[in-house]
Amino acid sequence: MSTASPALKIPFVKSPDVEESVHGSALAEYQRLSVQQTLNNKFVPVPILEARNIQDALIRERFEGQELAIADIGCGDGYHGEVFGPDARFYHGFEISSEMAQKSRERWQDIDGARVFEGDARSLLLPTNTYDIAWSLYFTSGNFRQEFEDINLYDDAYLDKNPAFIAIVNRFYEALKQGGKLFLTVYKDVPKTEAAQREFYQKTGQTVVTPLGSRFVATKEDFWSVRWTEESMLSNLRACGIEPGQVVFNDLNDVAWLVEVTK
């Protein structure tokens, strides 16, 4: 049974590695609609939907009904908090989109231990030794990046040591208890995945601007999603102080892993 979430103070502060991003109102509205569509299964290509469903089955089998302290990085519309929040010791969702944060608040309004923190996770000041689990599901961690107008700046050196990914993952890794788990659902860097990513964006009415064979897919509407090799993931995790022996790549299907890190 969930208990009231502790009165943790988790402020968002301005950090030097966080840039301001200002979009026109029409583009911002279009982005909000696109985010909602990515959570609607009718827009999701079959391999991606399959990976999501397998991921959900795995984490439900391992953690549903347990009294855990959980951090949900990019909680979206609050689906996973609705599943795990009622039994969690507390469930904290972190969300940069105001609209998605509000959807989570509405969805969790009757779950005593669930709370949403709205803002850029790179700017968080998290207490240490707090969470049993931190997870970023449905490929959210592949969206972490600095915003560059020139997509050529996302070169191999950047992707192998992505400052935005490292900043966010490091904050939540430090907030885990010893023995705690970090989970990241990520795309494998294979052609089948790239095809599914491109189809996904096109189904939501976006225009892909990256050439075939890029390690990420970006759109004119400012969406961006990277694919990973084991080597590129380990390179980024190593920059967070995480060694390869702490990492397990759980196969979901041909296009995705659920990366599991043990502190």
Global pTM?
0.89
Superfamily of domain 44-262: Vaccinia Virus protein VP39 (3.40.50.150)
Query: To the nearest whole number, what is the mean pLDDT of the chain?
Result: 89
* Domains of the chain by residue range: 44-262
Bridge partners of 46, per DSSP, are none
Q: What is the CA angle 198-148-244, rounded to 5?
A: 70
Class of residue 141 by CB neighbours under 10 A (exposed 0-12, middle 13-18, buried 19+): buried
Determine what percent of the chain is predicted with pLDDT higher than 90.
Answer: 76
| Tens digits of residue pLDDT in 112-168 | 999 999 999 988 889 999 999 999 999 999 999 999 989 999 999 999 999 999 999
| Tens digits of residue pLDDT in 78-89 | 999 999 999 999
Answer for the pair 2, 90: CB distance below 8 angstroms, yes or no.
yes
Choice among 10-19, 90-99, 218-227 with the minimum mean pLDDT = 10-19
Please determine, for residue 58, whether its predicted confidence score (pLDDT) is greater than 50.
Answer: yes
* Helix 46-63 and helix 191-203, axial crossing angle in degrees, nearest 10: 100
Categorize the per-residue pLDDT at 4 as very low, low, confident or very high, splitting at 50, 70 and 90.
Answer: very low
Answer for the pair 235, 161: CB distance below 8 angstroms, yes or no.
yes
Answer for the pair 133, 63: CB distance below 8 angstroms, yes or no.
yes
Q: Which amino acid is at 3?
A: T
